[in-house]
Homo-oligomer: A and B are copies of this chain.
């Protein structure tokens, strides 16, 4: 046991070998592995072979049809007997001599070479029929071997069988086929601090619930692998090496060690791979994804997946997926892509390929994409994304309004059901998002929270269907309109109220610091947590501070910013701050106390051009829906008296 403890020393660290471009990393692993000995052939029933890849050519044993047969329900005839038939001059045929009744699939009786459809046959008596049109030879007859000729090649080796191919196999008399084994993968989560969710853990300080191995397992199953995931192994080189060795002993094709692939003092993956075999790649020129490791041990692939979830996904998408496809002799399914108009600048480091997650929707006649944050630690930047764009290694990034080709992570049809909302955050948007997905035709609300002013900017750029705003104008006592007049003078918009909401000071349960108003924010023992610049809530705070004659510099924490009400509340919950300004719903959701300060109007601002959009119409219908309004009221801190009403200038909180 050589458990290195970072609390004792900064420690010895690994150095990356050399970072490689992604394609080169994949090539290096291919060159190091012999797939012919790694992944073998096995025999499966033809009916279970869809999706599998043939390890050898398949030749038909039977022809299909096995004999000339009727292609229609009707009567089998000798075509020459019918040549005289004309409308009004029928030819009569006698059963057993001139005709034989047949159903589709029946073998053609000896001497017959055509079928007349039952619809064109007049039954005169039990044994006589008449037809009024000639049949041409081989009419409605499926000829022997028309579909498959015995001994012909049905499929070459390495063909991936589709569902319909099962029909060709069985029709050709092939009951079982030789296919390549499915790739077997074992995923080993590692780390002293990780908890296995199956134990129903409640993570303490410094602990995290292990989730990467489950994400990678789900991805590997999508690739067609047989996946085993074991419980987490501690950061202990001996234990880790023993697990790797067991995996190699058991003939697993791919072993994945989660985390420990970087250059930290507890990152043992590299040394373990080197001990059992050789390291092929340590570090790729990708962001996220850089600390990916590939190794070869006893002819098998060993992967060190980065610890950050988005990095681990990139490692799997870019390195593991092509290698698994190569081992299984298959071609990965298409990943559709689309041209997306960026709504914001994306900086990128020269020399690394950057994977930018984008929230995408169709606004007007173009797809707009909002970058979802670069942090490799944030799995929601993937789960909230509809597309991922690659910024090439030789670029320093992309700017607003650039058009990027991005790989879609949802079916393209989903993009047309997306509503893009940019602006202020409010919890009613979560209720709206859920209700919009409940209809017969579901719509997906994507809301990006950049504050009310950010929403107006997005409207100006044409990058959203509507913006959420609660901008209070102290001079007029009105909401939103003064700001729209100033910043969107040329755009025809409708302003519809979502709800009236209560803003106030969110304080710890029981209000231990006895904070009762904005005046208390100047106290030296009160630590405040602020919202970001441009947020309507911050404007409201500034107004209240001004009214109370308190300079922002007197407020401790005025410069600490959060982007949502919930984030402010979480700061209070954990004691990182004593209070912050936010909505009642956020306080209530976390069991915190709330000191009301003001009522305000939260409106959605919709360009007139989008008012007839079916998605916008769905929103407007919900704002008048009793059930929706009840859900909003049930959250507390909301009034729905104005909800769904078109607002006009000067209404304030009246209307």
Contacts and interface: CB of A to CB of B under 8 A. Distances in A.
Interface string A423-464: 000000010011011100010110000000000000000000
A110 to B, nearest CB: 10
Nearest to A381: B147
A146 B378 CA distance: 7
Interface in A162-190: 162-171, 173, 175
Interface stretch (A61-69, A277-285, A469-477, A637-645): A61-69
A597 interface: no
Given A103-B266, A433-B156, A567 B163 contact: no
Contacts of A103: 6, 264-266
A105 B208 contact: yes
A10 B129 contact: yes
A329 interface: yes
What band does the interface of chain A fall in when counting residues whose beta carbon is under 8 Å from B? 35 or more
B156 A437 contact: yes
Interface stretch (A198-206, A481-489, A510-518, A544-552): A198-206
Interface stretch (A81-89, A331-339, A533-541): A331-339
Nearest to A447: B153
Nearest to A71: B377
Contacts of A32: none
A574 B144 CA distance: 9
B264 A168 contact: no
Contacts of A145: 566-567, 570
A31 to B, nearest CB: 11
A649 interface: no
A2 interface: no
A217 B47 CA distance: 9
Contacts of A142: 375, 377
A168 B205 contact: no
Interface in A281-318: 307-309, 313
Interface in A69-98: 69, 71, 73, 75
A230 interface: no
Contact of A10 (B123, B216, B408): B123
B377 A147 contact: yes
A466 B200 CA distance: 64
Interface string A193-235: 1000110100101101111101111110110000000000000
A208 B156 contact: no
A377 B63 CA distance: 13
A101 interface: yes
A265 B566 contact: no
Nearest to A564: B149
A430 B614 CA distance: 54
A370 B50 CA distance: 25
A187 to B, nearest CB: 11
Q: List the number of copies, as a whole number.
A: 2
A553 interface: no
A413 interface: yes
Contacts of A73: 6, 13, 262-265
A468 interface: no
A136 to B, nearest CB: 12
Given A144-B570, A173-B209, A168 B10 contact: no
Contact of A152 (B65, B167, B308, B566): B566
Contact of A380 (B102, B148, B221, B413): B148
B221 A50 contact: yes
A208 B148 contact: no
Given A153-B434, A162-B409, A173-B209, A13 B263 contact: no
B167 A383 contact: yes
A650 interface: no
A121 interface: yes
Given A10-B123, A208-B105, A378 B147 contact: yes
Given A147-B380, A157-B437, A209 B170 contact: yes
A46 interface: yes
B150 A205 contact: no
A206 to B, nearest CB: 5
B157 A47 contact: no
Contacts of A148: 380
A155 B446 CA distance: 11
A57 interface: yes
A105 B307 contact: yes
30 contacts: A10-B118, A10-B121, A47-B197, A57-B434, A59-B430, A64-B208, A65-B377, A69-B206, A105-B206, A106-B206, A145-B567, A145-B570, A146-B377, A147-B375, A147-B380, A149-B567, A151-B590, A152-B564, A153-B430, A158-B442, A162-B383, A163-B216, A166-B214, A167-B382, A168-B380, A170-B197, A175-B198, A331-B411, A331-B413, A334-B334
